[in-house]
Structure 1
């Protein structure tokens, strides 16, 4: 049975993100190889992966090579750093689907790059990226930036169980 995974903000090829976010890599090449290995350690060939933006700063050939090396059927929700390239560019790079807008998943989870405004009385959860090492408080937000999850995609069940656990603490 195929799983569904979520992750964001790899910033492939972005050397400065190592310093900006205190990433534990010597250079962008090491960062790329470690992040590909961690992705492929959990994602199978038939699994679905939602990448919630800011995927690559590299050219088409290098981005296409990385996408091809990553397991799974990949959907990209465009992040602020992805929007300089067209939706068709990302499709050509190897993503199966590309969305310029948030996606509603399982009628309850809003998938977006930037955190969305979520009233604390709303029953929904915003699965997002963009804010890297920061974290929004409250049960309505779930940050899937690579910095929080050891550069490894999370399954839907991991997110759902964490959300349920946080609600039980309230």
Structure 2
């Protein structure tokens, strides 16, 4: 059975991100290899991964090599660091789909790179990246940056479990369980 996964902000090849986010790697090679292994540990060949932006700082050939090693059908939503390259660049590098805008998933989840303003009356959950180790609390935001998930993509089932738990803790009664 195909599973859906979500992740963001790998920053493959980006040395400075290790310092900015206190990533526990000695160098970019170790960071890249660890994140590839973590991805493939979580994601099977038949699974689908939505990457919510800021994938790689490497050239097309090196980015393509990484993508070819990653399991799953890969969709990229362009992040702020991805936008210097065209949609076709990312497709040629190895993503199966590339979106310049957000994607609505299962009619209830807004997939975006940057978190969107969501007031408590909006009926959506914004699954996002961009803010790395920071976190928005509540049922309207879900941060899938690698720093929060041990550098692995997070499954849709895990997202639903966390949101349902938050809902119970906050005493809210929304329609999460119906999604």
Partner of 2:151: 151
Q: How does 1:16-165 map to 2 (within 5 A)?
A: 16-165=16-165
Q: Which runs of 5+ in 2 are unaligned?
A: 171-179
Q: Which runs of 4+ in 1 moved over 6 A?
A: none
Aligned-partner Cα distance in 2 for 1:116–1:80: 14
Residue 20 of structure 1: how far off its partner (Å)? 0.3
- What whole-Å deviation, never above 9, does each CA across 1:85-106 have from its counterpart, x for those lacking one? 0000000000000000000000
- What whole-Å deviation, never above 9, does each CA across 1:62-110 have from its counterpart, x for those lacking one? 0000000000000000000000000000000000000000000000000
Q: Which runs of 5+ in 1 are unaligned?
A: none
Matching of residue 6 in structure 1 with residue 6 in structure 2: yes
Aligned-partner Cα distance in 2 for 1:76–1:110: 14
- SS of the aligned residue for 2:120 comes to coil
Aligned-partner Cα distance in 2 for 1:123–1:167: 13
- What whole-Å deviation, never above 9, does each CA across 1:35-68 have from its counterpart, x for those lacking one? 0000001101110000000000000000000000
- SS of the aligned residue for 1:119 comes to coil
Partner of 2:174: none
Normalised by the size of structure 1, how large is the TM-score? 0.99
- RMSD between aligned residues: 0.5
